[in-house]
Amino acid sequence: MSSGARSATPIGDLLHLRAARVVPGGIYGHTDASMLWSGAPKFVKRAQGCRFWDADGREYIDLMCSWGPILHGHGHPVVEEAVARQASQVDCGNAPTAAFVELAELFVDTVEHADWAMFAKNGTDVVTLATGLARARTGKQIILTPEGSHHGRLPPRYTSERTSASDRLHRTVFRFNDLTSVEERLIAHSGNVAGVLVPAFLHNAGEDQELPHPEFVRGLRRLCDIYDAVLIVDDVRAGFRLTNGCSWEQFGVEPDLSAWSKAIANGYPISALLGTDAMREVARTVFIAGSFWMSGVPMAAAIATINVLNADDGLGRMRDRGEQLVQGLREQADRYGLGVRVTGPVTMPYLRFIDDADLAVTERWAAEVANGGVFLHPRHNWFISTAHTVADIDHILEASDRAFSVIAGRM
Amino acid sequence: MSSGARSATPIGDLLHLRAARVVPGGIYGHTDASMLWSGAPKFVKRAQGCRFWDADGREYIDLMCSWGPILHGHGHPVVEEAVARQASQVDCGNAPTAAFVELAELFVDTVEHADWAMFAKNGTDVVTLATGLARARTGKQIILTPEGSHHGRLPPRYTSERTSASDRLHRTVFRFNDLTSVEERLIAHSGNVAGVLVPAFLHNAGEDQELPHPEFVRGLRRLCDIYDAVLIVDDVRAGFRLTNGCSWEQFGVEPDLSAWSKAIANGYPISALLGTDAMREVARTVFIAGSFWMSGVPMAAAIATINVLNADDGLGRMRDRGEQLVQGLREQADRYGLGVRVTGPVTMPYLRFIDDADLAVTERWAAEVANGGVFLHPRHNWFISTAHTVADIDHILEASDRAFSVIAGRM
């Protein structure tokens, strides 16, 4: 007979076993927590505000915000009320709803460089559309992107030897914050660079994040003008967490196109491409469509999300909470004599331990933070929402302090 | 002074004028009704069951089903109850929900060839994933598709001279229902054909639809086996309107991969790629993800949609209503001495007038049908839903009869 102890397998692990039978790899993409520490939340059962509960009912304060989309916390009443109102009329219809027009007008009013908007579902949709428009407008082919920069997942990335040659055609890389490397590429591919696709800031997975230097941003605009290349800001991840407009407005720079998704509708599925009048005519010639792109509910959600952000000084509050978190983390690490780097905007911070090439220490720390009821990721930046209160950040800092103490004790 | 008559511009036209200022072309993609007859519904205000109301409150019986997604009518109570239940817990979370596992299991149970499922948002996402997996599995490059066949809109289609050469790389066409043309391509590109991507039936815009011959379907499977090419059925448009499984099950043929979207969640945004065990390992190696791909609500909606279809003999009822419609239309046209062709599956029929190359007569007829309170498209197949009743089809046939009589009177 076995002992009286119950050997209950966690529900999350049982779900993962079931998933592995009917989904290649069980879970795929960035939401796969099965490679994280044992006990990491593989499935989500419920979420409210800045908290979620995993399949086993374990509660976490959430620093991932569903990898960006949740800007005002789950179930924000103003957003949900707009959603319910639109859903009671029509979501996916034969044609757009009035919300389509209203959202485009709101984006044009809100984002300085935007004279027009188009909507899709994935960030990848609008990044792909943007690079296509750049090629169509200029009649040129090459798109420059920073080394290691992420701009969507289609075409999918295979193990390297299997990558289709055509998947990588017409991309050439430069070094972020290094204008000389950009100009070198422009000269090397003389007359054939259609555009420069650049993230609001560099947020490569598992690396220190890098904010753009103002002279880099302004220089990039100038180089694009000189070489007749289209400047595309990929604001899919950062949009509405740095400013109330395009992330590069703070530098006084207006891109030709900006790509948005994630946070713009507080978790409802939509992406947007915004452009200037100079890009309007070529955008008009494109035939592009998706089955659910005109659905009214995500558009109503986006209108409410943007209005809540603006009415409520959401950005100021996110920045204050981010400052509180980042300063607290740095003080704690110093106190324990642990070398860490906290990088990126305070509203999208990332912490890793120095001399931790494989991030093993960073992951052990994240696992200890999770033991304290806070979920953050050891290989990807985190996200602050307007739903995080001072008390929530205090709670997070208690968990992080305990986690630092465990790491310090082990080292 | 003007006369007492009100010159009220329709609300839909006012919305379109506003849209034209902030969206290139006003409305884009297939939902753009501004190129149809004057008064065609450009914006949708409300929808319920198989009816919708345009921005000006004009009621239509809907034969477009939002271009496919609406399988059980808008606001189906079982689907909406599942949606409300999931939404009250979590939609877009940090990780998948139990609905992710349950939907994958349901697809594997429902679709004969499927040993696994993956989910995304757009039909294009899963078609692109499918062609990528075919290339990765075979180490070959070329994808064969039928002439004129539609398999998604990304990369976007530009005016021809502006199309990027790379957008068209590695696609080669054959003639649908012509096995010889397939084998010719396989031989011409000896050893480099990764896959054959083929729609459930040929539904090119503005053309007569073409059902596959059983010997073509079976021959295609055989050729793919001989030449080690991956057989991909694009069931994005037809899925669950021809059978309760993959559309080619009726021929006893199992593809290696099938791509799904549109009808699978009754309007909620989701797409699916289904595959066999032979494709599982390569699918496991792909890193692919989208911001909203793991959202629980569309998955809960899909589970309910599939269960409703199966519990309720939805397919049988759609086929009966389709037969009623198609037979009625043919009888009416005969009676008026008008030459028309009604093609495709009865659940996804399309009517056009013969000797009507630019479809001008077909469009005039559709405009007259719309005057009778029924919306159908003159250049795209229609869709029957399980919400269409015998009385609804009777109503549609009254409108079509009146429209035929107008056309007959004019000719």
> pLDDT tens across A276-310, in order?
999 999 999 888 889 999 999 999 999 999 999 99
pLDDT over 70 (residue B165):
no
**pLDDT for the residue numbered B190:** 87
Closest CA to A272 of A116, A99, A98: A116
Amino acid found at A409: G
**pLDDT for the residue numbered A165:** 42
Tokens for A389? 């209160």
* Confidence at A3, pLDDT banded by 50, 70, 90: very low
- Going from the C-alpha of B117 to that of each of A20, B105, B130, B283, the distances in angstroms are 11, 8, 12, 10
Closest residue on chain A to B122 (Cα)? A290
Q: Give the pLDDT mean for B227-236.
A: 98
**pLDDT for the residue numbered A7:** 63
* Confidence at B157, pLDDT banded by 50, 70, 90: very low
Interface of A with B in 369-408 (CB under 8 A): 375
- A66 in reach of chain B (CB within 8 A): yes
Task: State whether residue B84 is helix, strand or coil.
Answer: helix
Asked if A298 and A87 count as a contact pair (C-beta separation under 8 A), the reply is no
Closest residue on chain A to B34 (Cα)? A95
Closest CA to A154 of B133, B196, B255: B133
- Residue ranges of the alpha helices (H) in A263-389? 280-285, 296-311, 314-335, 360-371
- Alpha carbon distance A127, A327 (integer Å): 34
Asked if A374 and A63 count as a contact pair (C-beta separation under 8 A), the reply is yes
**pLDDT for the residue numbered A170:** 73
Helix (H) or strand (E) holding B405: helix B390-410
The ipTM assigned to this model is: 0.95
Q: Give the pLDDT mean for B230-242.
A: 98
Sign of the Cα torsion A274, A279, A285, A286 reads: negative
**A291 to B116: CB separation less than 8 angstroms, yes or no:** no
| Ranges A168-182, A334-348, B334-348: which has the least confidence | A168-182
CB-CB neighbors (< 8 A) of B284 in chain A: 24-25
* Closest residue to A31, CB basis, from B30, B47, B294: B294
pLDDT over 60 (residue A356):
yes
**What pairing do the DSSP bridges indicate for beta strands B257-260 and B271-275?**
antiparallel
- Alpha carbon distance A361, A108 (integer Å): 45
* Closest residue to B153, CB basis, from A93, A153, A288: A288
**pLDDT for the residue numbered B3:** 44
Share of chain A above pLDDT 70, in %: 94
- Alpha carbon distance A255, A196 (integer Å): 10
* Confidence at A4, pLDDT banded by 50, 70, 90: very low
* Confidence at B169, pLDDT banded by 50, 70, 90: low
- Alpha carbon distance B292, A123 (integer Å): 10
Interface of B with A in 324-343 (CB under 8 A): none
pLDDT over 50 (residue A162):
no
Question: Closest Cα of chain B to A68: distance in Å?
Answer: 8
pLDDT over 80 (residue B155):
no
Residue A253 forms beta bridges with which residues? none
Helix pair angle (B296-311, B314-335), 10° resolution: 70
Amino acid found at A214: P
**pLDDT for the residue numbered B78:** 98
Asked if B43 and B16 count as a contact pair (C-beta separation under 8 A), the reply is yes
Asked if B188 and B129 count as a contact pair (C-beta separation under 8 A), the reply is no
Cα B19 from chain centroid?
26
- Alpha carbon distance A115, A136 (integer Å): 19
Task: State whether residue A262 is helix, strand or coil.
Answer: helix
* pLDDT tens, position by position, A171-198: 789 999 999 999 999 999 989 999 999 9
**pLDDT for the residue numbered A1:** 40
Task: State whether residue A195 is helix, strand or coil.
Answer: strand
| Ranges A160-174, A346-360, A367-381, B55-69: which has the least confidence | A160-174
Query: If you count residue pairs, one on A and one on B, with CB atoms under 8 Å apart, how many are there?
Result: 338
Closest CA to A68 of A344, A323, A368, A330: A344
* Closest residue to A93, CB basis, from B44, B68, B123: B44
- Alpha carbon distance B186, B192 (integer Å): 8
Q: Give the pLDDT mean for B159-172.
A: 50
Closest CA to A267 of A242, A249, A240: A240
Asked if B268 and B298 count as a contact pair (C-beta separation under 8 A), the reply is yes
Q: Give the pLDDT mean for A74-91.
A: 98
* Closest residue to B101, CB basis, from A18, A118, A288: A18
Closest CA to B363 of B14, B33, B9: B33
pLDDT over 60 (residue A159):
no
* Confidence at B7, pLDDT banded by 50, 70, 90: low
Helix (H) or strand (E) holding B327: helix B314-335
pLDDT over 60 (residue B160):
no
Helix (H) or strand (E) holding A48: strand A44-48
B59 dihedral zone (left: phi>0; alpha: psi -120 to 50; beta): beta
- B170 in reach of chain A (CB within 8 A): yes
**pLDDT for the residue numbered B148:** 85
Q: Give the pLDDT mean for B227-238.
A: 98
- Going from the C-alpha of A169 to that of each of A143, A163, B165, the distances in angstroms are 9, 11, 10
CB-CB neighbors (< 8 A) of A67 in chain B: 94, 291
User: If you average pLDDT over every residue of chain A, what do you get?
Assistant: 93
Tokens for B410? 């004019």
- Going from the C-alpha of B125 to that of each of A106, A290, A389, B105, the distances in angstroms are 28, 10, 37, 21
Longest pairwise C-alpha distance within chain B: 80
Q: Tell me which of A11, A94, A270 to substitute to probe the interface with B (most B C-beta atoms closer than 10 Å).
A: A94
Q: What's the number of CA atoms in the CB half-sphere (13 Å) around residue B156? A: 28
**pLDDT for the residue numbered B154:** 52
- Alpha carbon distance B221, B230 (integer Å): 9
Residue A116 forms beta bridges with which residues? A275
* Confidence at B167, pLDDT banded by 50, 70, 90: very low
Q: Kindly list the strands in the beta sheet with A171-174, ordered across the sheet, starting from the edge strand earlier in the chain.
A: A116-120, A271-275, A257-260, A230-234, A193-199, A142-146, A171-174
Amino acid found at A119: F
* Confidence at B236, pLDDT banded by 50, 70, 90: very high
Is pLDDT larger for residue B2 or for residue B396?
A: B396
- Alpha carbon distance B290, B125 (integer Å): 9
Torsion of CA A256, A262, A264, A270, to 10 degrees: 90
* Closest residue to B44, CB basis, from A97, A107, A136: A97
Which residues are CB-contacts of A327 (< 8 A; sequence separation ≥ 6)? none
Q: Give the pLDDT mean for B145-163.
A: 62
Longest pairwise C-alpha distance within chain A: 80
Closest CA to A192 of A139, A124, A241, A263: A139
Closest residue on chain B to A107 (Cα)? B22
Residue B46 forms beta bridges with which residues? B53
User: What letter does residue A378 receive in the DSSP assignment?
Assistant: S
Asked if B92 and A69 count as a contact pair (C-beta separation under 8 A), the reply is yes
Which residues are CB-contacts of A30 (< 8 A; sequence separation ≥ 6)? A67, A380, B289
* Closest residue to B166, CB basis, from A125, A156, A169: A169
Residue whose tokens read 């059925």: B233
* Confidence at B162, pLDDT banded by 50, 70, 90: very low
Q: Kindly list the strands in the beta sheet with B374-375, ordered across the sheet, starting from the edge strand earlier in the chain.
A: B44-48, B51-54, B59-62, B374-375
User: What letter does residue B207 receive in the DSSP assignment?
Assistant: S
Amino acid found at A42: K
CB-CB neighbors (< 8 A) of B291 in chain A: 67-69, 122-123, 236, 261-262, 269, 271
